[in-house]
Amino acid sequence: MVITNKKSYIKQTTDYNTKLQKKLWYKGSKAQRLEHIVHGIFLLLGLITVGCVLLITIYLFISGIPAILKIGIVDFLFGKEWASTAAEPKYGILPFILTSIYGTAGAVAIGVPVGFMTSVYLSKYASPKVKSAMQSAVGLLAGIPSVVYGLVGMLVLVPGIRKIFNVPDGAGLLAAIIVLAIMILPSIIKMSVTALDAVPKEYEHASLALGATPTETYFRVSVPAAKSGIAAAVVLGVGRAIGEAMAVMMVAGNVPNMPDSLFQSVRFLTTAVSSEMAYSNGLQRQALFSIALVLFLFIMLINAALNFFLKGEGSKSN
283, amino acid identity: L
Helices (H) and strands (E) in the chain, counts: 14, 2
d(CA 284, CA 219): 51
* pLDDT, position 311: 56
Name, in order, each residue with C-beta under 8 angstroms of 178's C-beta and a sequence gap of 6 or more: 110, 153, 157
Report DSSP state, residue 85: T
d(CA 112, CA 117): 8
Query: Measuring CA to CA, which residue among 174, 152, 177, 149 is closest to residue 164?
Result: 174
Q: Is the pLDDT of residue 32 over 90?
A: no
* pLDDT, position 3: 46
* Residue 32, helix vs strand vs coil: helix
pLDDT tens across 142-176, in order? Answer: 889 999 999 999 999 999 999 999 998 899 999 99
Q: Are 82 and 93 in contact (CB under 8 A)?
A: yes
**Predicted model pTM:** 0.83
Q: Is the pLDDT of residue 292 over 60?
A: yes
Query: Measuring CA to CA, which residue among 176, 38, 49, 47 is closest to residue 104?
Result: 176
What pLDDT band is residue 11 in, cutting at 50, 70 and 90?
low
Alpha-carbon distance values, 12 to 25, 92, 178 (Å): 20, 89, 82
Alpha helices in 166-244 (DSSP H): 173-197, 201-209, 214-217, 223-225, 227-243
pLDDT tens across 118-139, in order? Answer: 999 999 999 999 999 999 999 8
* pLDDT, position 316: 56
Q: In the predicted model, what is the mean pLDDT of residues 202-231?
A: 90
Q: Are 170 and 96 in contact (CB under 8 A)?
A: no
What pLDDT band is residue 38 in, cutting at 50, 70 and 90?
confident
Burial class (CB in 10 A: 0-12, 13-18, 19+), 32: exposed
The length of the chain is 318
Q: Is the pLDDT of residue 178 over 80?
A: yes
* pLDDT, position 313: 57
pLDDT tens across 234-255, in order? Answer: 888 888 898 898 999 999 999 9
* Residue 144, helix vs strand vs coil: coil
d(CA 82, CA 282): 16
Q: Is the pLDDT of residue 117 over 50?
A: yes
d(CA 224, CA 258): 39
* pLDDT, position 1: 45
| Range in 61-70, 93-102, 110-119, 305-314 with the lowest mean pLDDT | 305-314
* pLDDT, position 239: 86
* pLDDT, position 96: 95
* pLDDT, position 12: 56
Q: Are 250 and 265 in contact (CB under 8 A)?
A: no
Q: Are 231 and 195 in contact (CB under 8 A)?
A: no
d(CA 197, CA 131): 12
Question: What DSSP element (H or E) covers 199?
Answer: none
197 half-sphere exposure, CB direction, 13 A CA radius: 13
